[in-house]
Structure 1
Amino acid sequence: MNKIIYILLMLIGIKNYAQTKAQEILTYQEFIFNVISEHPLAKSAELKEKVAKAKLLAAKGGLDPYLTSSINQKNFENKEYYNIFENKITIPTSLGIAITGSFNNNSGEYLNPEAYTNNTGIWSAGIELDLLQGLITNTRKIALDQAKVYQRIAKNKQLQLVNKLVYDASKAYAEWQQFNSICNILQSNVELSERYLTNIKNALTNGEKTAIDTLEANVYLQNNRINLLKYEQKLVEKRLKVENYLWYENIPVAMQSHVQPETNINYYKFEEITVDENLDDIPMIAEKRAKMESLRLKQKLNREKLKPKLKLKYNPIIKTTDNTFGLSNYLSENQVWGAKLTFPIFFRSERGKYRESKYAVEEINYDIAVKKKEIENKMIANEQNQEALTQQIKLLQMNIDGYEKLLVAETKKFEYGESSLFLINKRQENLIASELKLLSSQNMLIINYLNYLLMTNTIVPTE
């Protein structure tokens, strides 16, 4: 079981886990796996990876062979001026080389002599070569490399979305559990106040207490009920916040009123938080590093464009007759070839784009360094917070033990007529205040560790 589930289940208690089904308990494990598998944001995050695959498919399309076919005819006054039928196949490669093949069959009285073919047409096969700019680095190759990098970017974006979703859902569950425990404590306090009131009424009947004691007990009871109602309303808000994360087949799910979170918070020391100097695997940093790689590919392409363009093509021509076709008809002098040189005089456009891409790489490199430092400092602060909260919880637990003993002692004194209801309620108020502080500190410790898991990309359960 992943570390997040193990720790949180320990914190929120699993002593009565075997009875959870009968008690209609929504466990953290059940809740968080529902979030991962059913929440729309989790499903939406999966689309980013699909979009990346679509981009890769589109980039591979730059290497797809393609056919070009055209026909042009002119007939005027019963004369065929020309009939030009041209077909060509081009097979691109990841280098600046394209393999070509063509078939031309042209005729007509006024056909341009250079387009002349015999009655059976002519075939040609050859290559087109970008000799300077684009030979090794070209738009097709860079587009394919960038599409592969985008897959990494999309994967890390997906991780960040799911991590944040699990973090928010876990935080909502922890708060729901906290306020549920608070209401249980306050409900017990109300029940205790009711027993005090009943006992004092009985004592009043026996002449052991006065009417003012009954009034005092009744006032404390009403105050405790008001306090309980206030926190019950807050519990409803926390419960509704948890419901925001419950979905099934794209339909939001509402919990039944009797469904409860896991209870019995117990504090267990977390595993020691360590600051790993290698933060490159953290999704936020990994995404930025992938973006930097994409920018470097763009920079590489812009640098390639600082070269002049020299395009060569060579196509040997193969004659055909009615009876023969093949290499036997190939003559070395039958060929079409050409060259084209393009050389911008100043290269200002190319130099400007190259510098822009270079500065973009430097900028994101600075951003990565800053983010790494921020995460490192947050992890150090997180470790210090854990230690402080751990000590605080231990002291609060000691206080609770002390207040419980004082309350028991004060109650016995009250039974012997040596104390007052006022002192008992003060003891009870101090005990409840310490219990609520303990719940708050334990919740802060859970959130603190969730922050650590979020930063280190370990918050999503893997089992």
Structure 2
Amino acid sequence: MKRKKQLLFWVLKFLTVAAYAQEDSTKRLKLQDVLQWVAAYHPVMKQADLNLEQGRFALRQGRGNFDPQLKGTWDEKNFKNKQYYQYINSYVSVPLWIGELKAGYEQNQGLYINPDRTVPEEGLWYAGITVPLGYGLFMDERRNALRQGQLMQEMAAAERLKAINKLYYQVVKDYWNWYFAYKKKEALQRAYDLVNARYEFTLEKVKMGEEAPIDSLEAGINRQDRLVMLLEAEAELTQARLALSAHLWTDDATPVELNDDVIPEEPSSAAERSFQELYPLETLKQHLETQHPELQKLRLKYQSLDFERRLYTEKMKPKINLNYNFLSAQPVKSGEWNSVYLQNNYKFGLEFAFPLFMREAGGKRQQVRVKQLQNEQEQMYLLRTLNNDLEAAYRALLLTGQNLHNLRTMVQNYRALRDGEYAKFVAGESYVFLVNKREEKLLDAEIKLAKMQANYEKLKAEVLWLSGLSLWDLP
């Protein structure tokens, strides 16, 4: 009767230890919560938003080339108590998409002013336009600056997406590394508790004379081995927790460290089945080709170079500017304009300039063209590299998903073998050595399963990251 009670005690203790680690679900930290936390407070997110601000300011700077300007000149000469001349000219200049509008007031006086600068006593009002007929008709520095500013804004948005996706990808990897470290430590803790219980049971059997003292020595060595592995796993878990904590900040930029009692969530097996349906490989490849931020940046850079090429091509044309200004001694009111200003009271002129050798503009144009060719090669290489990496990661994801199912079944079988062997050991029909071997196989399989599960989740993130998709709604 006493032996039966002892057997029942050790069987119940074994079952209690085997059912270990039913954690409080309220202490679980979900991956989506981590990503939301990162999105709200991480410094890289704030830096990415600042990059977007820089893009907006670059566009504003480009638009500034079309800002109206108030200008004026005052040139006066007095010598030996004589006013030789006084030239006053103030005007408003309004840059247009093609050409420039100008309106102003001119007043000149003195004893020796140039005859062509003589104006009525009350001054002279004028308004006119400058139109380029050669260089500047299709492209000039102002329009190029505006186009570059628009591209800078788009490039800043692509750079922001790239930085955010890279950050999310690192966070996801660190999260699942933490998950694996936690599951490994949990499995080793459970294994240590089991071997410790078996060690105590073996000591009892040695005291009762049912086992040789050498059996307690082997059980003790097994316990020491498990303890060493457990301490190593605890150190790895601490490192993984700190790596994930490095991504966590408060709203006042204070670093946050996860508590030891916070645990990761368990992956959803349903998400494994839905991922392939949500993200077929061909769809991912199409998104990569059209929306990947790295490729977007290269395409925008090519457009930027193309605007430069067009500018220098334009500079190879002769500079021909047509100037017209109508003149009036009084400001012209609305509705008073008539054809007289086209027949009389006007200034008309033509500017012409042409570089004979065109070496500067031609050299710059060829330099830009070489950069465009380099950009095209870089786009082709990057697209192929990303496609290959995406396909490799996707196929690895599929194989890992298949192996997960097989490994889960293997763990269940190893657990059944371990339980059966331990029951035989308690009944005196097996040995410590055999029980330990069963537990080693089960422990290795459990750790391998946790590692494969973490790798599967990281592969999902890698697939989305390589395709240029956001990891925010990672299934």
- Taking structure 1 as the reference length, the TM-score comes to 0.90
Unmatched tracts of structure 1, length 5 or more: 1-15
**How many Å apart are 1:448 and its aligned residue?**
1.3
- 1:123-181 C-alpha deviation (Å, 9 max, x unpaired): 11111121111112222122212211222111111100000000000100100011101
- The alignment status of 1:335 with 2:342, answered yes or no, reads no
**Distance (whole Å) between structure 1 residues aligned to residue 415 and residue 327 of structure 2:** 103
**How many Å apart are 1:327 and its aligned residue?**
5.9
**How many Å apart are 1:362 and its aligned residue?**
2.1
**How many Å apart are 1:264 and its aligned residue?**
7.0
Aligned equivalent of 2:321: 311
**Distance (whole Å) between structure 1 residues aligned to residue 221 and residue 120 of structure 2:** 115
**Distance (whole Å) between structure 2 residues aligned to residue 206 and residue 462 of structure 1:** 61
Aligned equivalent of 2:14: none
- Percent identity, aligned pairs only? 27
- Which 10-residue stretch deviates more, 336-345 or 72-81? 72-81
Contact 2:105 2:125 in 1 (8 A): yes
Q: Return the letter of the residue paired with 1:121.
A: G
Aligned equivalent of 1:226: 228
Aligned equivalent of 2:293: 283
Judged with a 3 Å threshold, the aligned counterparts in structure 2 of structure 1 residues 327 and 383 are, in CA distance, closer, same or farther, namely: closer
**Distance (whole Å) between structure 2 residues aligned to residue 44 and residue 146 of structure 1:** 22
Aligned equivalent of 2:94: 91
Equivalent pairs counted in the alignment come to: 441
- The alignment status of 1:274 with 2:272, answered yes or no, reads no
**Distance (whole Å) between structure 2 residues aligned to residue 72 and residue 363 of structure 1:** 53
1:150 to 149, 152, 161: 152
**Distance (whole Å) between structure 2 residues aligned to residue 327 and residue 430 of structure 1:** 99
1:451 to 462, 465, 468: 462
Contact 2:390 2:467 in 1 (8 A): no
**Distance (whole Å) between structure 2 residues aligned to residue 229 and residue 156 of structure 1:** 45
**How many Å apart are 1:387 and its aligned residue?**
2.4
**Distance (whole Å) between structure 1 residues aligned to residue 349 and residue 105 of structure 2:** 18
**Distance (whole Å) between structure 1 residues aligned to residue 269 and residue 156 of structure 2:** 39
Q: Return the letter of the residue paired with 1:311.
A: N
2:255 to 252, 255, 269: 252
**Distance (whole Å) between structure 2 residues aligned to residue 408 and residue 401 of structure 1:** 11
- 1:21-170 residue pairs with structure 2 within 5 A? 21=26, 24-95=27-98, 97-170=99-172
**How many Å apart are 1:262 and its aligned residue?**
2.0
- 1:396-429 C-alpha deviation (Å, 9 max, x unpaired): 2232222112212211221232221011101101
**Distance (whole Å) between structure 1 residues aligned to residue 414 and residue 261 of structure 2:** 32
**Distance (whole Å) between structure 2 residues aligned to residue 158 and residue 197 of structure 1:** 58
Judged with a 3 Å threshold, the aligned counterparts in structure 2 of structure 1 residues 331 and 138 are, in CA distance, closer, same or farther, namely: closer
**Distance (whole Å) between structure 1 residues aligned to residue 34 and residue 418 of structure 2:** 38
**Distance (whole Å) between structure 1 residues aligned to residue 75 and residue 308 of structure 2:** 41
Secondary structure, aligned partner of 2:74: strand
**Distance (whole Å) between structure 2 residues aligned to residue 254 and residue 386 of structure 1:** 31
**Distance (whole Å) between structure 2 residues aligned to residue 20 and residue 408 of structure 1:** 27
Secondary structure, aligned partner of 2:187: helix
2:414 to 403, 409, 413: 403
Judged with a 3 Å threshold, the aligned counterparts in structure 2 of structure 1 residues 462 and 274 are, in CA distance, closer, same or farther, namely: closer
- 1:349-390 C-alpha deviation (Å, 9 max, x unpaired): 222222222222222122212211112212221222122212
- 1:431-450 residue pairs with structure 2 within 5 A? 431-450=442-461
Secondary structure, aligned partner of 2:290: coil
**How many Å apart are 1:248 and its aligned residue?**
1.1
Aligned equivalent of 2:25: 20
**Distance (whole Å) between structure 2 residues aligned to residue 333 and residue 60 of structure 1:** 36
RMSD of aligned C-alpha atoms? 2.3
**How many Å apart are 1:462 and its aligned residue?**
5.7
- 1:201-212 residue pairs with structure 2 within 5 A? 201-212=203-214
- 1:195-220 C-alpha deviation (Å, 9 max, x unpaired): 11121122222221232222221211
Contact 1:183 1:232 in 2 (8 A): yes
Contact 2:161 2:293 in 1 (8 A): yes
- Which 10-residue stretch deviates more, 264-273 or 154-163? 264-273
Contact 2:39 2:45 in 1 (8 A): yes
1:421 to 432, 452, 467: 432
**Distance (whole Å) between structure 2 residues aligned to residue 144 and residue 280 of structure 1:** 25
- The alignment status of 1:390 with 2:395, answered yes or no, reads no
Q: Return the letter of the residue paired with 1:274.
A: L
**How many Å apart are 1:432 and its aligned residue?**
0.3
**Distance (whole Å) between structure 1 residues aligned to residue 408 and residue 291 of structure 2:** 39
Secondary structure, aligned partner of 1:251: coil
**How many Å apart are 1:265 and its aligned residue?**
7.2
Secondary structure, aligned partner of 1:135: coil
**Distance (whole Å) between structure 2 residues aligned to residue 155 and residue 320 of structure 1:** 52
**Distance (whole Å) between structure 1 residues aligned to residue 82 and residue 473 of structure 2:** 78
**Distance (whole Å) between structure 2 residues aligned to residue 366 and residue 330 of structure 1:** 57
Secondary structure, aligned partner of 1:388: helix
Secondary structure, aligned partner of 1:271: helix
**Distance (whole Å) between structure 1 residues aligned to residue 360 and residue 466 of structure 2:** 42
Contact 1:275 1:379 in 2 (8 A): no
Secondary structure, aligned partner of 1:338: strand
Secondary structure, aligned partner of 1:67: strand
Q: Return the letter of the residue paired with 2:52.
A: E
Aligned equivalent of 1:7: none
**How many Å apart are 1:94 and its aligned residue?**
0.9
Contact 1:318 1:331 in 2 (8 A): no
- Which 10-residue stretch deviates more, 123-132 or 348-357? 348-357
Contact 2:173 2:458 in 1 (8 A): yes
Contact 2:312 2:361 in 1 (8 A): yes
Structure with the largest fraction of helix: 2
Contact 2:292 2:469 in 1 (8 A): no
Structure with the largest fraction of strand: 1
Contact 1:298 1:357 in 2 (8 A): yes
Secondary structure, aligned partner of 2:273: coil
Contact 2:461 2:471 in 1 (8 A): no
**How many Å apart are 1:84 and its aligned residue?**
1.6
Contact 2:246 2:255 in 1 (8 A): yes
Secondary structure, aligned partner of 2:469: coil
- Taking structure 2 as the reference length, the TM-score comes to 0.88
Contact 1:167 1:459 in 2 (8 A): no
